[in-house]
């Protein structure tokens, strides 16, 4: 059996990828409901509601816990990884997004005075705590359905 066919049979990975996909599709739907427009970039972009990073890692750790046992070392590794990713999504990446927002205001002010032209920075790179929580819940639900 080839490496790729073995990877494609990895249930934990498939479950995590399904949770990621559900969350990414959810971002497109949320964008449609919120702004009344279709933005397919939301399907591959980071940030926004819900957190696909959180959905991915919580589906990963939930399925590992259900398959290997809640007391297994693999579950401990997976849930620790999940907490680091979710903390980063709501902490470091959110702060970077706020900094980008402020820098974009400064750039706009400078450009209006025709001193500097610069490309705007991406502001939507992190998550609010609720986006992370909803993403995590999606991951747990998908894992419980698929295991």
Determine the pLDDT at residue 126: 64
Question: Among 2-16, 46-60, 63-77, 109-123, where is mean pLDDT lowest?
Answer: 109-123
* pTM assigned to the model: 0.72
pLDDT at 146 over 90: yes
In a domain, 102, yes or no: no
Contact between residue 40 and residue 96 where contact means Cβ atoms under 8 Å apart? no
**42 lies in a domain?**
yes
d(CA 69, CA 75): 7
**Is 106 within the bounds of a domain?**
no
Asked, for residue 14, whether it belongs to a domain, the answer is yes
Total number of domains in the chain: 1
Q: 46 is in which domain, residue-wise?
A: 3-91+126-146
* Other C-beta atoms lying within 10 Å of the C-beta of residue 130: 12
Q: Name the token pair of 113.
A: 């005075």
Instruction: Answer yes or no: is 109 within a domain.
Output: no
| Residue 21: inside a domain | yes
Q: Which of 1, 49, 56, 53 is nearest to 28 (CA)?
A: 49
Q: Is residue 18 part of a domain?
A: yes
Write down the mean pLDDT value for the chain: 84
Q: What tokens were used for 53?
A: 């990073």
Residue 120: inside a domain: no
Q: What is the pLDDT of residues 5-63, one digit of tens each?
A: 888 899 999 999 999 999 999 988 888 888 888 877 766 777 778 889 899 999 999 99
87: tokens are 């903390």
Contact of 80 with 28, CB cutoff 8 Å? no
């Amino acid at each position: 059996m080839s490496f790729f066919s073995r990877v494609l049979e990895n249930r934990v990975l498939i479950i995590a990828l399904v949770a990621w996909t559900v969350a990414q599709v959810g971002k497109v739907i949320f964008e449609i409901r919120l702004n009344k427009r279709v933005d397919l970039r939301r399907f591959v972009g980071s940030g926004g509601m819900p957190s696909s990073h959180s959905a991915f890692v919580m589906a990963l750790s939930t399925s590992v816990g259900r398959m290997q046992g809640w007391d297994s070392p693999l579950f401990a590794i997976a849930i620790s990884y999940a907490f680091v990713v979710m903390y980063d999504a709501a902490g470091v990446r959110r702060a970077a997004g706020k900094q980008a927002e402020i820098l974009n205001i400064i750039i706009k002010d400078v450009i209006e005075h025709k001193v500097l032209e610069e490309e705007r920075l991406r502001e939507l790179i992190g998550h609010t705590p609720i986006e992370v929580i909803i993403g995590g819940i999606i991951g747990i639900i998908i894992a419980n359905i698929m295991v």
